[in-house]
Chains A and B, each alone.
Chain A
């Protein structure tokens, strides 16, 4: 019943809930496909780049960013609270884990996940015999 007929590339329904998720922010993401792989863009404001951990394990991409709230003085007004970021995605295409690239800029994380060679569509040469 719970199985997905159509497995979307990034449906995370199958990823088990974790305790870590309870006290963390789920960052909003954009995910799009390029010819050679998948790009994940996530807003992680407040997370220094050395505190962002990205890994792909058994087809699950995990983004975990630790933040440091550095409030000075006495709070007068609080509209947001920085929390660690945590989110997981199931990937259907096999990823070339050796060549994952990640970049942080202005609190925005961009992860590029190249498709593994065997997951790339192979073009078959059509030969004509004359």
Chain B
């Protein structure tokens, strides 16, 4: 078959197959069995209630939450803690409405409102919570309640 001879249905099918495969692969880390062969940072494509993706860690005094949420106007974030449940909501901004659909070559990002709630593993002190938005990642620091902090028990020798 000579190349460049107009429309070829088989090649079109092949392209389609590759596009579909890519859709399932793209948005994770390309590591074999890596932590994140999962949909990432796309409100529309992540599983319901799973946006933004979260990392959680702690130390003696605080719980730290990182949320992967690029393209959000910081003013549009709403972060609350109630009944020991953390709720993050916000809106990923869409591009200007002035761009006509046929001007797009690729449209892989998505936009829209999102809400996610997370039950916290220990009680937190709601007085001194902090949230910082840096480079599209929201960093939340929640101080543990006094009652949740580990206490060392003195072992006495008699």
B84 to chain A, nearest CB (A): 15
Question: Are B135 and A48 closer than 8 Å at their CB atoms?
Answer: yes
| In the assembled complex, B158 has its CB within 8 A of some CB on chain A | no
For chain A residues 64-120, which have a beta carbon within 8 Å of chain B?
71-83, 104-108
Q: Which residue of A lies closest to B32 (CB)?
A: A22
Question: Are B30 and A8 closer than 8 Å at their CB atoms?
Answer: no
Question: Are B106 and A31 closer than 8 Å at their CB atoms?
Answer: yes
For chain B residues 80-118, which have a beta carbon within 8 Å of chain A?
95, 99, 103-109
Stretch at the interface among A38-46, A53-61, A122-130: A38-46
Residues of A contacting B106 in the complex (Cβ-Cβ under 8 angstroms): 10, 29-31
Question: Are A26 and B95 closer than 8 Å at their CB atoms?
Answer: no
- How would residues 28 to 58 of chain B score, 1 for a CB under 8 Å from any chain A CB and 0 otherwise? 1111001110101110000000100111111
Tell me whether chain B's interface is mostly helix, strand or loop, or mixed: loop
Question: Are B70 and A76 closer than 8 Å at their CB atoms?
Answer: no
- Provided the pairs A106-B73, A107-B136 are in contact, do residues A30 and B59 lie with their beta carbons within 8 angstroms? no
Question: Are B56 and A26 closer than 8 Å at their CB atoms?
Answer: no
Number of residue pairs spanning A and B whose beta carbons lie under 8 angstroms apart: 152
| In the assembled complex, B79 has its CB within 8 A of some CB on chain A | no
| In the assembled complex, A36 has its CB within 8 A of some CB on chain B | no
Interface size class for chain B?
Answer: 35 or more
The answer for the CA separation of A71 and B42 in the assembled complex, in Å, is 22
Q: Which residue of A lies closest to B46 (CB)?
A: A79
- How would residues 2 to 41 of chain A score, 1 for a CB under 8 Å from any chain B CB and 0 otherwise? 1101001110000000000111111011111110001001
- Provided the pairs A43-B41, A80-B36 are in contact, do residues A26 and B69 lie with their beta carbons within 8 angstroms? no
| In the assembled complex, B72 has its CB within 8 A of some CB on chain A | yes
> Which residue of the partner chain, among B7, B57, B68, contacts A71 with CB atoms under 8 Å?
B57
Question: Are B8 and A107 closer than 8 Å at their CB atoms?
Answer: no
| In the assembled complex, A63 has its CB within 8 A of some CB on chain B | no
Question: Are A33 and B105 closer than 8 Å at their CB atoms?
Answer: yes
Residues of A contacting B64 in the complex (Cβ-Cβ under 8 angstroms): 71-73
10 closest cross-chain pairs (CB), A and B: A107-B136, A45-B136, A107-B70, A73-B59, A28-B108, A45-B70, A77-B56, A73-B57, A79-B53, A80-B53
- Chain B positions within 8 Å of A, measured between CB atoms, are 1, 3-8, 11, 26-31, 34-36, 38, 40-42, 50, 53-59, 62, 64, 66, 68-74, 95, 99, 103-109, 121, 133, 135-137
- Chain A positions within 8 Å of B, measured between CB atoms, are 1-3, 5, 8-10, 21-26, 28-34, 38, 41-49, 71-83, 104-108
